[in-house]
Structure 1
Amino acid sequence: MAASTTVTVRMSETLKERLGLLAEKTQRTQSFLAERAIAGYVERELEMMTAVEEGLEDFRTGNVVPHEEAMRQIRETIAKYES
């Protein structure tokens, strides 16, 4: 099992109650559910930040597609699935 540490998180009383309800219904601990939720959030945010950084680097290096071309490709892709 991976090492763990403790973090204190402030949340509304309503959210704490709902977390408790979810823990009860899933037969998991509140700590387990909170850790899963935070892990998912952190991963999504880091992925988004990485994508933005890559996009900015593409822009800086001129690795871009003109708007008209991008829209043409999008319309063609949509048309394939509408048929």
Structure 2
Amino acid sequence: MKINVTFDMTPEEFRKVMGLPDVQEFQQEFFNTVLEKMRAGEEGYDPMTLYKPMFNESMNAMGQFQKMMFSMMSGNGNNGS
């Protein structure tokens, strides 16, 4: 048996129904603070420093995915490494 339920609501209505906090103001304040520090040239707030951890993690994730795919293609997918 398959049952489909559709709700027609905005993201704001969904957030309220789920009881999630409204963090839009906090996000905007945080973004403005980071933007001010970037414009002022404050140390540690240049774009490359801010995004470097994300780049490193995404590259690590890609490498792990490639290892997993090569392992599966070679028939060693169940060795856990």
Taking structure 2 as the reference length, the TM-score comes to: 0.45
Q: Considering Cα pairs closer than 8 Å and 6+ residues apart, tell me whether 1 or 2 has the greater RCO.
A: 1
Taking structure 1 as the reference length, the TM-score comes to: 0.44
